[in-house]
Structure 1
């Protein structure tokens, strides 16, 4: 009931503010969201063919910042909402929710947040929240609870993040840094390079290394990511490449993934060994986009072939 009242209050606040943002002299609050609904034709190799209406991690939230002495405090509270299938208590799920402070030293936050390794994907994944999302072929896509994270200020194009995940008395793991996620980025012009390492984030003795490169040149965006995971001596790796071309209100996208990360046996979300996705986005307005896409997938050791074709609408607020 409290969550429902809070959500209703947030919506009311958004209606009161014509821009969705409330600003005072030292404070800034934004009520925001994204609805991404698709009509999908799913064809599976086992013969299951069906039409589906999917919500694709539609979400709403509140974020803001304000003066805290000589520092700046910031916060975010975000929830996923399923506008297509689920109702009642299953309709709302928590996403990133944290509070922190920032200043000349960098920033510190605590709560629930995507790990530095997950954040390192940047916008290389062109089909996030859809069937072509890399979470279906790669592990390390973790939104961690009980996280404490420090981010350095930018130093000559470099920036680093260190996240500590306490075990909180789970067996023998009860220290401050039972699991760690570290990322280093370098950005100059249209080039963005990154390296990250997760240790024990997805289980004891599970180590993941991720390397990414992104380059933007005029209307083109290129992305490349490589990842390797070692789970107690069992190895799995994968590579992803993507390209996006924008022209006016249109964007054309291609993404290819090949991965055997499932062999490491880390994440239950991994379903596919390879995926090829193509898509077209067309902006109908500043916050409204129509899109269509096709994803072809090979599943598991048997390489069963699945496909999904969809049309959708994104509405942001």
Structure 2
């Protein structure tokens, strides 16, 4: 969806155990949907997604996801990337998200703020994410903190730390540790190592 795409590369542990989807709603890959991305105009882009209602779910409505972004998400063509996005009735939630990431020397610093609510009004929450990456030679050291405050319910916090080692243009070794504090639920800890090769 447009909202998921709007995060750019602020989430340093995307698709790993520390992925923001463990505390934030809105990380959706929807079927029966159509997306649009405009050309860049002075650094600004418009993203939009239409999600058709699910005929198998009683009371399901069409969903809409919109985002406006500024800059280059890879921070190669610009020193800053920023986005504001919203979901309306996408996968059962209304979500508003603001993201920003900037590059200063060898540091990449990112932040995200999000509010989310079930479409039936039964669950409200707001939270934030802070991320930092430092590159030294072939190594990138990463740290990320995420918190979500659920109104009248449990809070969730997550912290992840990791390091990437670039062997060459296509091959990367990586390791990470993630911890989730789920209040009344069982806390979770993950330790992982891996290799990524891009064809």
Scaled by the length of structure 2, the TM-score of the pair is 0.87
How far residue 260 of structure 1 moved from its aligned partner, in angstroms, is: 3.2
How far residue 304 of structure 1 moved from its aligned partner, in angstroms, is: 4.0
Where do 4+ consecutive residues of structure 1 move more than 6 Å?
A: none
- Give the distance between the partners of 1:294 and 1:144, measured in 2 at CA: 29
Aligned to 1:242: 131
Quick one: which of 166, 189, 193 aligns to 1:311?
193
Q: How many residues align?
A: 191
Pairwise mapping of residues 72-83 of structure 1 onto structure 2 (< 5 A)? none
How far residue 119 of structure 1 moved from its aligned partner, in angstroms, is: 0.8
Larger Rg: 1
Quick one: which of 161, 164, 178 aligns to 1:278?
161
How far residue 264 of structure 1 moved from its aligned partner, in angstroms, is: 9.6
How far residue 306 of structure 1 moved from its aligned partner, in angstroms, is: 2.8
Q: 5+ unaligned residues in a row in structure 1: which ranges?
A: 1-114, 266-270
How far residue 272 of structure 1 moved from its aligned partner, in angstroms, is: 7.9
Which string of whole-angstrom CA distances, capped at 9 and with x for unpartnered residues, describes residues 116-167 of structure 1? 1111111111111221111111111000111112222111221111111111
Aligned to 1:167: 53
Aligned to 1:179: 63
> Greater share of helix residues, 1 or 2?
1
How far residue 315 of structure 1 moved from its aligned partner, in angstroms, is: 1.8
Distance 1:245 1:179, change over 3 A: same
**1:230 is the counterpart of 2:117:** yes
How far residue 305 of structure 1 moved from its aligned partner, in angstroms, is: 3.3
Scaled by the length of structure 1, the TM-score of the pair is 0.56
Quick one: which of 195, 214, 218 aligns to 2:101?
214
How far residue 276 of structure 1 moved from its aligned partner, in angstroms, is: 1.0
**1:144 is the counterpart of 2:45:** no
- Give the distance between the partners of 1:292 and 1:172, measured in 2 at CA: 44
Quick one: which of 82, 86, 92 aligns to 1:197?
86
Distance 1:281 1:168, change over 3 A: closer
CA RMSD between the two structures: 2.3
Q: 5+ unaligned residues in a row in structure 2: which ranges?
A: 73-77
Pairwise mapping of residues 257-276 of structure 1 onto structure 2 (< 5 A)? 257-260=146-149, 273-276=156-159
